[in-house]
Amino acid sequence: MSKNLAHFILAVLIASIVITLSMRSLEFFMPFENKVKDLMFKVRGEVKGDENIIIVDIDERSLKSLGQWPWSRDIVATLLQNLSDYGAGIIGLDIVFAEADNSSPKKVLEKLGLPYEGVVDYDEVLASTISQTPTIIGYVFAMQNDTIEAEKSPKSRGIVVEKNRPQISYLLKPYRPILNIDPISEAAYSSGYFNTVPDSDGNVRSVPLVMEYDGVIYPSLVLEMARIIQNKRKIELFYDDNGLSHITLGELDIATDYYGRLNVNFRGEQGSYRYISALDIYEKRVKPEDIEGKIVFLGTSAAGLLDLRSTPFDSVFPGVEVHANALENILSGDFLAKPIWASGVDIITIIIGAFFVFLILLLPSAIGTFVLIVALNALLLWIDYYYMFSYGVIFNTIMPFIAINSIFIVGQLINYFLEIKQKERIKGKFASKVSPAVMDDILASGDNVLEAKEREITVFFSDVRGFTNISEAIKDPKKLIRFMNIYMDPMTEIIIKTGGTVDKFIGDAIMAYWNAPTNVTDHADKAVITSLEQLHRLRELNKKLREDPEFESVVKMSDANGVPIVDIGIGLNSGTVIVGEMGSSDRSDYTVIGDSINLGSRLESLCKFYNSKLNISNFTKERLKGDYIFRFLDYVTVKGKSEPIEIWQIYDYDKEQEFYLFDVSKEQLLHELALYHEAIKLYKAAEFAKALAIFSEIQSWENKTNKAIYKIYIERCEHYTEMPPKDFNGVFKHTSKG
Q: Residue 512: pLDDT band by 50, 70, 90 thresholds?
A: very high
pLDDT-wise least confident of 21-25, 148-152, 411-415, 487-491: 21-25
Asked if residue 733 has pLDDT above 90, the reply is no
146-164 b/e with 16+ CB inside 10 Å = b?
A: eeeebeeebbbebebebee
**112-134: per-residue pLDDT in tens?**
888 888 889 999 999 999 999 99
Q: Is the pLDDT of residue 85 over 70?
A: yes
Tell me which residue of 606, 637, 640, 635 sits closest to 621, measured CA to CA.
635
Q: Do 167 and 248 share a domain, yes or no?
A: yes
Handedness of CA 625, 630, 635, 637 (dihedral sign): negative
Confidence check: pLDDT of 611 > 90: yes
| CB neighbour class for 656 (10 Å; exposed up to 12, middle 13-18, buried from 19) | exposed
- If one counts the domains in the chain, the total is 4
Q: What angle do CA 65, 295, 273 make, to 5 degrees?
A: 70
Same domain, 296 and 388: no
Does 406 share its domain with 472?
no
Buried b vs exposed e over 306-325: b needs ≥16 C-beta within 10 Å?
ebbbbbbbbeebbbbbbbbb
pLDDT at 184: 95
Cβ pair 123, 140 in contact under 8 A = no
- 448: confidence class by pLDDT, cuts 50, 70, 90: low
- How far from chain centre, in Å, is Cα 602? 53
Q: What is the mean pLDDT of the chain?
A: 90
Residue 638 pLDDT: 75
Of the two residues 112 and 187, the one the predictor is more confident about is 187
Return the closest-CA partner of residue 460 out of 606, 365, 571: 571
Residue ending a domain, choose from 275, 298, 332: 332
Residues 6+ apart with CB under 8 A from 594: 575, 576, 577, 578
* pLDDT given for residue 700 in this prediction: 92
**Residue 352 predicted with pLDDT over 80:** yes
- Residue 594 inside a domain? The answer is no
Cis link prior to 339 (omega < 30° from 0)? no
The answer to whether the CB of 99 falls within 8 A of the CB of 158 is no
- Please answer whether residues 12 and 354 qualify as being in contact, where contact means their C-beta atoms are separated by less than 8 angstroms: yes
The tens digit of pLDDT for each residue in 366-404 reads 888 899 999 999 999 999 999 999 999 999 999 999 999
* Residue range 420-435: mean pLDDT, rounded: 60
Helices (H), 203-299: 221-229, 278-282
Same domain flag for 57 and 157 = yes
Q: Check whether residue 260 and residue 365 sit in a common domain.
A: no
Asked whether the predicted pLDDT for residue 589 surpasses 80, the reply is no
pLDDT at residue 432, rounded to an integer:
53
How remote is the C-alpha of 541 from its chain's centroid?
A: 53
Cβ neighbours of residue 647 closer than 8 Å, sequence gap 6 or more? 603, 606, 610, 615, 616, 617, 618, 632, 633, 634, 635, 636
372 lies in some domain = yes
Q: State whether 523 and 642 are in the same domain.
A: no
Nearest to 500 by CA among 510, 485, 512, 508: 512
Is a pLDDT exceeding 60 seen at residue 1? Answer: no
pLDDT over 70 at 434, yes or no: no
Residue at 37 is within a domain: no
631 burial via Cβ count (<10 Å: 0-12, 13-18, 19+): buried
- Nearest residue to 680 via CA among 671, 665, 670, 690: 690
Domain for residue 463, yes or no?
yes
Give percent of the chain with pLDDT exceeding 70.
Answer: 94
Q: What is the largest CA-CA distance in the chain?
A: 161
Which of the listed residues 281, 312, 332 is the one where a domain comes to its end? 332
Domain with 345, as residue range(s), is: 3-26+339-427
CATH label of the domain that carries residue 505:
3.30.70.1230
Out of 427, 460, 490, pick the residue that ends a domain. Answer: 427
Q: Which pTM does this prediction carry? A: 0.62
Q: Is the predicted pLDDT of residue 431 greater than 60, yes or no? A: no
Which CATH number is 638's domain given?
A: 1.20.58
Residue of 357 and 733 predicted with greater confidence: 357
pLDDT digits (tens, 9 = 90+) for 236-266: 999 988 789 999 998 899 999 889 999 999 9
pLDDT at 318 over 60: yes
Indicate if 9 and 77 belong to the same structural domain: no
Same domain for 519 and 479, yes or no, is yes
Residue 54's identity, in one-letter code, is I
CA 191/CA 498 separation, integer angstroms:
92
Q: Is residue 618 part of a domain?
A: no
- Please indicate, yes or no, whether residues 405 and 445 belong to a single structural domain of this protein: no
Judge whether 183 lies within some domain: yes
Residue 300 has pLDDT above 60, yes or no: yes
Task: Give me the pLDDT at residue 517, please.
Answer: 80
**Do 423 and 521 fall into the same domain?**
no
pLDDT over 90 for what percent of the chain? Answer: 66
Please compute the mean of the pLDDT values over residues 415-443 and round it to a whole number: 63
Domain assignment of residue 603, yes or no: no
Query: What pLDDT digit, counting tens, does each position of 691-723 carry?
Result: 999 999 999 998 899 889 999 999 999 999 999
Residue 648 counted as domain residue: yes
What's the Cα-to-Cα distance from 680 to each of 323, 608, 620, 685, rounded to whole Å? 108, 20, 20, 9
pLDDT at residue 305, as a whole number: 75
Alpha helices in 95-141 (DSSP H): 105-112, 122-132
Say if residue 64 is in the same domain as residue 117. Answer: yes
For residues 415 and 324, state if they share a domain. Answer: no
The segment with the largest mean pLDDT, out of 194-203, 285-294, 698-707, is: 285-294
Angstrom distances, CA of residue 230 to CA of 93, 127, 248, 327, 332: 19, 25, 11, 12, 12
